[in-house]
């Protein structure tokens, strides 16, 4: 049975370069890892520029791994009532699908700018399902069982006793079958920063991180897990070990 894609998860549109200071290019697919926190407005401009370059055939697909300074973003379905502390951090209109999300240090953000046409995957539902599978596979490398939940966007961890916490968020935009925005995975952020919003409009559940689960995992560890898991989910490869 086909499961409907949440209407607020994806923003679909009809039909400058990324600064190199503090960035590292990784061999293989066009992965970019920024060591310094990237201002959100700059990231938006760079994603727009990259999408245009991919469409024009003048630039490669890119998966950009980064952190942001502490901030809140509002997706296309954000309810103003869910912004509990509007003066705590800067708030940005993201243009992606979804509601309010927190980004900040200790959280690995992955902006995925790929052409679904070239990949033969002109199916947004499948793309989002694959993003979920990507996160779940990466978490599995650390012994964490990430799970989907019907009616709740993101990836969740069962803490026992009926408690479930969110460990990763998803919000995407698609323009002329080219994706941007993407995922965020909580590695070791300040979880109290989530208190300023109702994350993704879900009041009944909290947020967790790899550190909160007792795992001393670094951003570098997560980057490697994301790269290996990407190949297994999106490229059909299986890594050894």
Q: Which residues are catalytic?
A: 200
Q: How far apart, in whole angstroms, are the C-alpha atoms of residue 180 and residue 62?
A: 10
Q: Which of 230, 223, 112 is nearest to 173 (CA)?
A: 112
- Edge-to-edge strands of the sheet including 100-103? 91-93, 71-74, 100-103
- Element containing residue 164 per DSSP (H, E): strand 163-175
58 secondary structure, DSSP code: S
Within 10 A of 134 (CB to CB), how many other CB atoms are there?
25
Per this entry, what is the length of the chain?
241
The answer to whether residues 105 and 36 touch, using CB atoms and an 8 Å cutoff, is: no
């Amino acid at each position: 049975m086909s499961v409907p894609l949440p209407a607020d998860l994806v923003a679909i549109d009809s039909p400058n370069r990324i600064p190199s200071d503090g960035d590292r290019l990784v061999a293989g697919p066009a992965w970019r890892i920024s060591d310094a926190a990237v201002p959100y407005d700059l990231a938006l401009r760079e994603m727009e520029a990259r999408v245009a370059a991919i469409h024009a055939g003048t630039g490669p697909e890119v998966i950009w791994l980064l952190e942001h300074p502490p901030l809140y973003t509002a997706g296309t379905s954000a309810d103003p009532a869910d912004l509990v502390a509007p003066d705590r951090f800067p708030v940005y209109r993201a243009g992606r699908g979804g509601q309010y999300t927190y980004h900040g240090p200790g959280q690995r953000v992955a902006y995925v700018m790929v052409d679904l046409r070239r990949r033969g995957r002109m199916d947004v539902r499948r793309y989002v399902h694959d993003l979920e599978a990507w996160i779940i596979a990466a978490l599995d490398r650390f012994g964490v069982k990430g799970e989907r939940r019907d009616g709740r966007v993101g990836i969740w961890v069962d803490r026992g006793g009926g408690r479930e916490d969110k460990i990763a968020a998803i919000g995407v935009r698609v323009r002329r079958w080219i994706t941007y925005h993407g995922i965020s995975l909580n590695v070791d952020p300040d979880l109290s920063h989530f208190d300023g919003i109702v994350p993704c409009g879900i009041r009944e559940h909290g947020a967790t991180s790899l550190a909160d689960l007792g795992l001393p995992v670094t951003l570098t560890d997560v980057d490697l897990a994301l790269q290996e898991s990407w190949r297994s989910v999106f490229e059909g490869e299986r890594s050894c070990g």
